Amino acid sequence: MAPYSSFLGRTVTVQYRVGDVLLVACGTFVGDCGRSIFLEQHVEMDGKRNYFRWEIPYPYIHHIEETIKSEVPEVASFEVEAPAQKRFAAAAGSSSSATSTGVPGIPSLSRPKPI
């Protein structure tokens, strides 16, 4: 029996190392094959539902613990607020054309005209 199978189907936080760096992954524990564990996290981007899946080998696991449901959002939402950026650009007096940087507070640069 796999040693981490008791976490199957639960939301967990895993600290694992890659080289000299300690990373953290949070998601649903979806598998344990005996040599590595699998985590999955669902996200929503641009109205489409996607998921990320990690495979973490046993030797790389530093710490694993179950996460309380209220600490982790069910679905992470990454929505781009283009209308707000256009409003800011209009208020700043810069154009919202293709040459705009799209970053609030940074004015757009005009390109020199070709000769």
Q: Taking a C-beta distance cutoff of 8 angstroms, is the pair 44, 75 a contact?
A: yes
pTM for the full predicted model: 0.57
Query: How far apart (Å, rounded) are the C-alpha atoms in residues 76 and 68?
Result: 16
| Between 96 and 68, the higher pLDDT residue | 68
CATH topology for the 5-78 domain: SH3 type barrels. (2.30.30)
- DSSP code, position 91: H
| Between 92 and 18, the higher pLDDT residue | 18
Q: 3-state DSSP helix/strand/coil percent for the chain, to nearest 5?
A: 15, 45, 40
pLDDT in tens, 51-63: 889 999 999 999 9
Position 10 scores a pLDDT of 93
Position 47 scores a pLDDT of 87
What is the pLDDT averaged over residues 12-20? Answer: 93
What is the pLDDT averaged over residues 75-79? Answer: 48
Position 31 scores a pLDDT of 93
End-to-end CA distance of the chain: 73
Position 14 scores a pLDDT of 94
pLDDT in tens, 25-42: 999 999 999 999 999 998
